[in-house]
């Protein structure tokens, strides 16, 4: 229960189409996100970054091999759901916009009726996570990235102040919905845990198994939701007002890390007041704390391409105002912050404007770039349009593409790259919402603008959710 207390991606183009088509107010209804504890034996309840794997996790990232190190190449031909995977993997569609989820999954041949829950699946499913159920099942959580009036300020920053004011008077159309699974993978329910918000992008599952949903517009907030029952969620203003993309949590140091998806965005850290998250407490109240921006010192952000650079943190000014109006010169610009994940003392995050994956060492207080599209050399040049992130308990950094060629690409601990899957025939879409079932045997992801083509296949649409079934050898 929650206490009361520079480069346009396809998403950017679609935002503009949405508004110029006059669609505001008429849209139909809707990890990594991410964070992990330091080991699989942690007493903290597993969030989306804790993918249980038998055995102990090695002490350092450098000693990890990666869960997906030995997967083969993608098969030449996509399966009946339009997905290319390595040999031994299989897929299932578990939700399609406008249809009731089906207990056995969605048929590729025709829409079905009489499914579970009281809600057709939402439009534009984006960031997602998973939490365990007491019976051995799990719940998959999914944001809805429906634009609203405030999103005009995202697409056209010069109009942000006016759009923010109009947003206050206009109910949002975005929501957060869940799929409830039994231990055998059967879908048994579906319901809403947040509504009335705007452009909910990513977020994270907390160590105490709530969901933090991020609004991605210049005056956006973070909302905390209880995934175990229908509800409306609670705003957490202490986490700031900006174009929130995703969140990662370091439960031992009691820190939250947040990305901002703007061309002049910043990277943030939230430090709870001692009374908000006392040492030894199960959870943070998320009601009072300090919001800070990252400042890269030394040779600056460009120096991080070659070697780790020292960082410091500066308190934001006017934390209860939109941060695009309160930039600090000493803070560092990160061009289009996307997914973020905490794993074994490292905060990984993506920036789409320069196609980079960053690694922040929270103990050493240094930052470096571990992947950049512009300088990548074959065979490691297969990743572009970086977006959502997920890090497995064996150190694989899974990166979903917005743009590129609709792949999920694995960055292994040795920094070599392998494709995990590719969605074919949905080129106006993007992949997001990566999360694993508690046993690690099933992976979920969204094609947030995929749908049926009416001929028994799949093409661009209003959103769908896939399940990737992993072979026992992985």
CATH class of 10-454+463-469: mainly beta
Strand order in the sheet with 138-144: 125-132, 138-144, 174-181, 187-197
* pLDDT reported for residue 151: 78
Per residue in 40-84, pLDDT (tens digit) is: 322 223 333 333 332 233 445 567 899 999 999 999 999 999 999
* pLDDT reported for residue 170: 78
* pLDDT reported for residue 118: 81
3-state helix, strand, coil in the chain (%, to 5): 10, 35, 55
Residue linked to tokens 């949002």: 172
Q: Residue 68 and residue 51: Cα distance in Å, rounded?
A: 13
Residues paired with 360 in a beta bridge: 347, 367
Overall average pLDDT of the 177-204 stretch:
97
pLDDT category of residue 274 using cuts at 50, 70 and 90: very high
Q: How many CA atoms lie within 13 A of 461 on its CB side?
A: 23
pTM for the full model? 0.88
Q: Quick check: 421 pLDDT over 90?
A: yes
Residues 6+ apart with CB under 8 A from 134: none
Q: Where are the domains of the chain?
A: 10-454+463-469
End-to-end CA distance of the chain: 35
* pLDDT reported for residue 2: 65
pLDDT category of residue 160 using cuts at 50, 70 and 90: confident
Greater pLDDT, 133 or 163: 133
pLDDT category of residue 285 using cuts at 50, 70 and 90: very high
Counting Cβ atoms within 10 Å, is residue 252 exposed (0-12), middle (13-18) or buried (19+)? middle
Vertex 179: Cα angle to 14 and 224 (nearest 5): 75
* pLDDT reported for residue 36: 43
% of the chain with per-residue pLDDT over 70: 86
Per residue in 375-396, pLDDT (tens digit) is: 999 999 999 999 999 999 999 9
Strands 464-469 and 417-423: unpaired
Tokens (6 digits) for 464: 């769908």
* pLDDT reported for residue 149: 75
């Amino acid at each position: 229960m929650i206490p009361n207390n520079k480069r346009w991606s396809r998403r950017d183009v679609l935002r503009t189409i949405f508004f110029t088509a006059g669609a505001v107010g008429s849209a139909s209804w809707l990890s990594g996100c991410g964070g992990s504890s330091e080991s699989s034996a942690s007493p903290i309840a597993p969030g989306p970054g804790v993918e249980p794997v038998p055995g102990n996790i090695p002490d350092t990232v450098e000693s990890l091999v990666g869960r997906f190190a030995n997967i083969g190449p993608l098969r030449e031909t996509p399966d009946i759901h339009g997905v290319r995977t390595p040999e031994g993997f299989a897929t299932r569609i578990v939700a399609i916009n406008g249809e009731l989820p089906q207990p056995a999954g969605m048929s590729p041949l025709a829409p079905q009726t009489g499914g579970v829950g009281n809600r057709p699946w939402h439009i534009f499913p984006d960031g997602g996570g998973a939490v365990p159920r007491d019976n051995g099942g799990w719940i998959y959580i999914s944001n809805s990235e429906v634009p609203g009036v405030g999103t005009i300020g995202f697409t056209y920053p010069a109009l942000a102040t006016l759009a923010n004011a109009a947003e206050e008077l206009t109910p949002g159309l975005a929501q957060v919905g869940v799929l409830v699974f039994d231990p055998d993978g059967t879908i048994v329910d579906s319901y809403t845990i947040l509504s009335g918000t705007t452009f909910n992008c990513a977020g994270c599952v907390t160590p105490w198994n709530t969901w933090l949903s991020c609004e991605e517009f210049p005056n956006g907030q973070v909302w905390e939701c209880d995934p175990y029952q229908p509800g409306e969620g609670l705003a957490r203003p202490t986490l700031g007002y900006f174009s929130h993309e995703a969140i990662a949590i370091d439960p031992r140091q009691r820190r939250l890390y947040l990305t901002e998806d703007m061309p002049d965005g910043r990277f943030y850290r939230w430090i709870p007041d001692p009374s908000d998250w006392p040492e030894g407490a199960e959870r943070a109240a998320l009601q009072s704390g300090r919001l800070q921006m990252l400042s890269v010192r030394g040779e600056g952000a460009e120096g991080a391409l070659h070697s780790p650079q020292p960082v410091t943190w500066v308190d934001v000014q006017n934390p209860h105002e939109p941060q695009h109006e309160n930039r600090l010169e000493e803070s560092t610009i990160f061009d289009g912050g996307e997914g973020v994940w905490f794993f074994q003392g490292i905060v990984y995050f993506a920036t789409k404007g320069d196609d980079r994956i960053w690694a922040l060492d929270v103990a050493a207080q240094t930052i470096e770039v571990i992947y950049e599209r512009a300088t990548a050399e074959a065979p490691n040049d297969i990743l572009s349009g970086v977006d959502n992130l997920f890090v497995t308990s064996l150190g694989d950094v899974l990166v979903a593409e917005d743009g590129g060629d609709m792949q999920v690409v694995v960055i292994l601990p040795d920094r070599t790259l392998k494709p995990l899957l590719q969605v074919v025939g949905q080129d106006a879409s993007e992949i997001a919402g990566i999360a694993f079932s508690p046993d690690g045997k099933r992976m979920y992801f969204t094609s947030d603008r995929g749908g049926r083509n009416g001929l028994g296949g799949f093409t661009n649409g209003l959103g769908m959710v896939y399940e990737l079934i992993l072979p026992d050898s992985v």
